[in-house]
Chain A
Amino acid sequence: MGHQPDTMGERRRLILRGIAAGGLAGAFTSWSRATWAEGHIDLPFEGGQRDLTHSFPQKGEMILLRTRPPLLETPFPVFDRGVFTPNDQFFVRWHLANIPTQIDGAAFRLNVHGAVKRELSLSLTELLTKFPRVELAAVNQCSGNSRGFFAPRVAGGQWANGAMGNALWTGVRLRDILDRAGVKAGSAAVRLHGLDMGVIPATPVFMKSLHVDHARDGEVMIAYAMNGQPLPMVNGFPTRLIVPGWYSTYWVKMLSDIEVLQQPDDNFWMAKAYLVPDTPHASMEPGQTGVPMVPINRMVPRSFITSLSDDQRVPAGQPLTVRGIAFGGDAGVRDVRVSADSGSTWSPARLGQDHGKYSFRQWEIRLTPKRGPTVLQVKATNTSGIVQPTMANWNPGGFMRNVIESMPVVGA
């Protein structure tokens, strides 16, 4: 490890000194690349060169997209190892860089206030002992997962397909917490935020809201464990909102504040950020104007081959088991189909164990690759009948990609 991390605090002091001195130019003398002994990876799009890092606390090998605040992608081979994504390789996405690095679990409180009959301030022990425990397997996927594949390219975190993961979440229902507080009649929304803050006061606090009926649907939960363990700090220790079937932007990390609102939430993170076209597949033409936009919401189905990688050589004329994962978005997986002839014919894959409708589901299929280049494709249909589209969507935020995946392989 040639990389000696300094702390966030040191960097902030340095930055502030730099501002005071009229700029940082003097603080750094050259363009330097940190040395990452762990190696590199090339993601399959322009500018996809990435370092692999082991430098983040409680995390194993991750693809480094941004150091501060952290954007860490799961290396794709991890998804072949099982239906649950290990905590130490689960993707990480923070908006604001002022992230607590020390949390005293015994002193932590989850506060409930706003349009409620009784304000609450709950300790972790109270969450563990005073409310029914629930467990749910659910996929957590970044709204911008796969943004690097958008054509034309769009600004934002340039993820490949690894800004997603599946975990068994343990915790309490948000409904049970809200009912303990007593939501006042006529309330509109429940707003949630965590302990993270911006570096400068002018940056809007990261807050997300759910319609009050959604917040009380009995599925939305507050997790204090992930795959049977406390959450890693960078995944939201000690409590994280779980919004099954919805994109990760709502899954507030280090959740510390629940506010019941009597009007819909117009804060920046709901009204201006994370908006998608209100069109089929959230798709529009580049440059198109006047498109109605809505806050991103339910996920759509996706499926991936995990047992092979792009351009892999496979034995021609011999049976091959191809394996992968699928998820239905806001519904279960009805079926997964695979094509080995560029989409002319599709064969059903065998589905693995069902861990619940919001979970990854493994699939596998036996096929016999022909000699020469072949494109394998995989598409999932969810239990609502929604099928992955043949054409990739496009929107300026780079959100909600779920086109049928294609993987070139070579029979030899």
Chain B
Amino acid sequence: MRHSTLALLTVVTAAGVSDGYAGSPADAPLATALNRTVNVTLPDSHHVFPPGEGADIANSQCMICHSAGMVTRQPPLTYDNWKLEINKMRSAYGAPLPENQVDSLAKYLTTIAGKQQGK
């Protein structure tokens, strides 16, 4: 499935800025390529959150919608920033995290990717 860079650049050069019209014989390869079934496998991450108090909440809740790397690659955020992010996940994206776990999760995220309050 993997195209080589060289092959693609060749195609670009050949395509130029043509003004092709529908149904021409030149369309046949593209029509064939589009009218097939494409089947891929997307890799998944095996990462989980680093151990600590609240890691179980992060593993069970955050990873419903995205892999852990989205969180562990964030810059250091304050407790208040993390709380904002968590509440955005709840209110905007429908994360089923119970309200009474928000504080514990924000505290946990501040321990793994936190910075002091204030400017």
Contacts and interface: CB of A to CB of B under 8 A. Distances in A.
Q: Do A and B bind each other?
A: yes
Q: Is the interface of A mostly helix, strand, loop or mixed?
A: loop
Interface in A130-147: 130-133, 135, 137
B79 interface: no
B78 to A, nearest CB: 11
A28 B59 contact: yes
B51 interface: yes
Interface in A166-225: 168, 170, 198-204, 224-225
B65 A65 contact: no
Interface residues of A, number: 97
Q: Is the interface of B mostly helix, strand, loop or mixed?
A: loop
A26 B21 CA distance: 59
Given A10-B44, A19-B60, A102 B37 contact: yes
Contact of A200 (B44, B45, B65, B70): B65
Nearest to B18: A135
Given A23-B57, A34-B46, A125 B35 contact: yes
A391 interface: no
A68 B18 CA distance: 38
A166 to B, nearest CB: 10
A111 interface: no
Nearest to A27: B59
Interface in B41-82: 41-51, 55-57, 59-60, 63-67, 69-70, 73-77, 81
Contacts of A135: 15, 17-19
A128 B40 contact: no
B22 A132 contact: yes
A199 B46 contact: no
A314 interface: no
A387 interface: no
A105 B38 contact: yes
A68 B27 contact: no
A189 B2 CA distance: 38
Nearest to A228: B11
Nearest to B58: A24
Most buried by A among B14, B33, B42, B63: B42
B56 A7 contact: no
Interface string B23-43: 100010011011111111111
A326 B19 CA distance: 26
Contact of B3 (A58, A128, A234): A58
A360 to B, nearest CB: 12
| 9 residue pairs, one from A and one from B, having the closest CB atoms | A202-B94, A5-B43, A57-B40, A153-B75, A228-B11, A25-B56, A67-B45, A23-B60, A24-B59
Given A31-B48, A158-B75, 11 more contacts: A7-B42, A19-B60, A23-B56, A23-B60, A25-B56, A68-B67, A97-B65, A102-B38, A227-B15, A228-B15, A355-B17
6 contacts: A24-B60, A57-B40, A58-B40, A59-B2, A101-B39, A128-B30
